[in-house]
Amino acid sequence: MRISKHVSYKEGVYSRTALRLGIENIPSDEHLSTMKVTAEKIFEPLRN
């Protein structure tokens, strides 16, 4: 699954801290929507 053209879902939710502490880093639908907007508005211009 991709959050945007150049950002994968896995990349968006990866957290070493969450892994170390055993925290499930699964975004809610609202958070996923915000992640998509952030990826499009901030990360895509940097990666193009």
3-state SS record for the chain: CECCCCCEHHHHHCCHHHHHHCCCCCCCHHHHHHHHHHHHHHHHHHHC
| Percent of the chain's residues with pLDDT above 70 | 100
Average pLDDT, integer, range 14-30: 97
Buried b (16+ CB within 10 A) or exposed e, 9-18: eeebbeeeee
pLDDT at residue 21 greater than cutoff 90: yes
Average pLDDT, integer, range 13-31: 97
* Burial label, 36 (beta-carbon count in 10 A; 0-12, 13-18, 19+): middle
Pairwise pLDDT comparison (40 vs 48), residue with the higher score? 40
For residues 44 and 6, the answer to whether their CB atoms sit within 8 Å is yes
* Position 23 confidence tier, pLDDT thresholds 50, 70, 90: very high
